[in-house]
Amino acid sequence: MLATIVSWTVVAGLLVTSSGLLLYQDWRWGIGFLAGQYAGVFWLVLQHWPLGMAAAKLVGGWMATASLGMTLLGLPQPHEPVEKYWTQGRTFRLFMVGMAALLAATAATGVEVMLPGTGIPVAVGGILLIATGLLQLGMTSQVLRVLLGLLTTLSGFEILYAAMEGSGLVAALLVVVNLGLGLVGAYLLTVSPEEKTQ
Amino acid sequence: MSAPFIWIFLPLMIGGFSLLIGRERLATMVGGATAVILTAAALIVPIDEALGFGSFSLKIASSYQILGRNLTLDSAEAPLLAILFGVAGLWFLGAESVGVARRLTPFGLIIISLLVASIAVQPFLYAALLIELSVLAAIPLLLPSNQAPGRGVIRFLIYQTLGMPFILIAGWLSAGVEASPGDLSLTVQSTMMLGLGFAFLLAVFPLYNWIPLLMEECSPYVVGFLLWLLPTVTSILGMSFLDRYAWLRTSDQVIGALRVGGLLMVVTGGIWTAFQRHLGRMMAFAAVTETGLILLSLSLNPATGLPIVFLLLMPRGLGLAVWALSLSVLDSNSESLRFSSVQGMARTHPLAATGLIMSALSTAAFPLLAGFPPRLALWNGLAQRSLNDSFWLLVGILGLAAGAVRMLAVLVMAREETPWASRESWAQRGMLGIGMIGLLVLGLFPQAANPILDRLPLMFQHLGH
């Protein structure tokens, strides 16, 4: 019972972090929300994986986040430009997050049927992150935002996949993929002159 | 000593160390030598059989265990290893002449070893993760440290990354379908996931818009390398799925989807090639068409289709290598690869222009060139099944041929007073010459590759028998 309450609290936390990632354009907020999101992912993955494997996911996610954060910190002007073509209205983005949350709430039972034993909070958390990550990817072509979107989408997938597959090799490879995305993101940020200067 | 160590970990380590190499010539030699040695080893060294050296004997084990799972490369995979490393050797040896060897050798070796690992990993559906890692390694290969990422690179990263989760979930669902074949909804879900995963990974219509963008933004040579390697290995993964799951290879809907997807790629790729005004974008759409041909071959009866898929591999690798090398030579000597910039360059760079035309014609199934025999076989197979399909294949190929003719017209459209001269370097001439001779040899004597190609279907337990 307590675990379920904690899981729902974590899902609420994921709603806050994923909304924050969409709403705030300042990179510091983005990095902070991503780090918090990985803590939530850790808890939901822990429902199906042993502590060691779930902790590896948390550490891998935080390392990816740190690599992005450290890179942005080292750039001359690491503040984010306001993107010309990004839908600016916060209300619109909030509405889209609401739609994603609605989608997660309605689709979770279907996922639970498809993957018996997943647990509704785990399914909601996974779908929510996938949906908000895809929203992020669809709204921008900015390198940092795209990376945040990809990491969020993958986090959602990993929550659901943990209920299906418990292989150590898969866990290790997924951690390496997350780290790789973080490093590739760091590389892309350092070679993006327009993001440094604006 | 194990086969995965030789063909996965060794090139991975050499690739890692060659990141430290600062000279183009040395990087080319390291990459070329590694690829040639590994090709020779794949052709000569038996796997899982004792090799006697006087009183010593050595046995190359086929498996290596890692985190409770196996990486397995047995003797059935040796011909594929020979093709992958052999064609990669050509790319590495040509890299110095266009100034990308310091990037292509290390990242190319890392990518190829990860992709070989994706072929070797058991269960095979984990391959999607290794393909994703190779995609991540491709980003620094595509972008030198002084070039900002464009939309093509970003889309490449997004699309390839989104493919991975679909394949992993499809693999899990497929096992469920196998256990309860009567569950229709599970079958539909699994097929949808698989279709979406491969649509992203293979850049199936309409998800291929990153390919022409990438050709405009990045070095044509490195993009060509990726356009050869990634779809080739992803196709092998697709064939593994068909081989593993009986419900998949006997499903009319799956075969129909392969047919429609393949035809869409061939027709749209061919038609877009005909209307482009940028040589790089032409190559991009021709590569899309090539992938469509693989899908079309897979939609045929396995006994007919599988040999055609393998027959397509070598001409595809060689054709794209010559095309990309020729483009890189022209690119480095002109403002851009737009028609207005390269007009008349056949007079100043005749070998590069010839390489470009030959590889374009080979892709368009021009007789006596490498692309002709597999396309003829595919056409024959399609015609036996449906004349409509063979007509649409003709439309796609005519588009490619029209593109090649336009390319030829633009390249020879020089001013009368422009003198003929060959401004390519000796290395460029040598590599282009070898590539063009290869295109002719594979076209005139396609049976020369039979000793390798005949053994390739043995990789697949059900499809290949």
pLDDT in tens, B195-207: 999 999 999 988 9
CA-to-CA separations, B274 to A46, B346, B372, B385, B461, in angstroms, rounded: 54, 20, 19, 27, 40
Tell me how many residue pairs between chain A and chain B have CB atoms under 8 A apart.
Answer: 86
pLDDT score of B187: 87
For the cut 50, the answer to whether the pLDDT of residue B50 exceeds it is yes
Reduced to 3 states (helix: H, G, I; strand: E, B; else coil), residue A47 is coil
Bridge pairing between strands B69-72 and B63-66: antiparallel
- CA-to-CA distance for B288 and B269, rounded, in angstroms? 6
Q: What value does the mean pLDDT take over residues A24-42?
A: 92
Residue A167 structure tokens: 């292989």
Over the stretch B410-436, which tens digit does the pLDDT of each residue have?
Answer: 999 988 888 888 888 899 999 999 999
CB contact under 8 A, B146 and A191: yes
Greatest CA separation for chain B: 75
pLDDT band at residue B172, thresholds of 50, 70 and 90?
A: confident
Share of chain B above pLDDT 70, in %: 100
Asked if the ipTM is above 0.85, the reply is yes
CB contact under 8 A, A184 and B130: no
pLDDT score of A87: 55
Reduced to 3 states (helix: H, G, I; strand: E, B; else coil), residue B159 is helix
Q: In chain B, which among 24-83 make CB contacts under 8 A with chain A?
A: 66-69
For the cut 80, the answer to whether the pLDDT of residue A1 exceeds it is no
For A184, the closest chain B residue by CA position comes to B136
pLDDT score of A81: 54
CB-CB: which of B121, B145, B189 is closest to A114?
A: B189
pLDDT score of B65: 87
Residue B179 structure tokens: 């256990």
CB under 8 Å to B174, separation ≥6 — which residues? B125, B190, B194, B241, B244, B245, B248
Residue B92 structure tokens: 């590495």
pLDDT score of A196: 42
Residue B206 structure tokens: 């309409």
CB contact under 8 A, A181 and B136: yes
Better pLDDT: B302 or B162: B162
Q: What value does the mean pLDDT take over residues A126-154?
A: 93
pLDDT score of B181: 77
CB under 8 Å to B212, separation ≥6 — which residues? B152, B276, B278, B280, B281, B284, B285
Average pLDDT, rounded, for chain B: 92
CB contact under 8 A, B154 and A141: yes
Helix-strand-coil split of chain A, %, nearest 5: 80, 0, 20
Phi/psi of residue B216, each to 5°?
-80, -35
pLDDT score of B317: 92
Beta-carbon neighbour count of residue A74 at 10 Å? 11
Q: Please give the DSSP secondary-structure letter assigned to residue B128.
A: H
CB contact under 8 A, B189 and A165: no
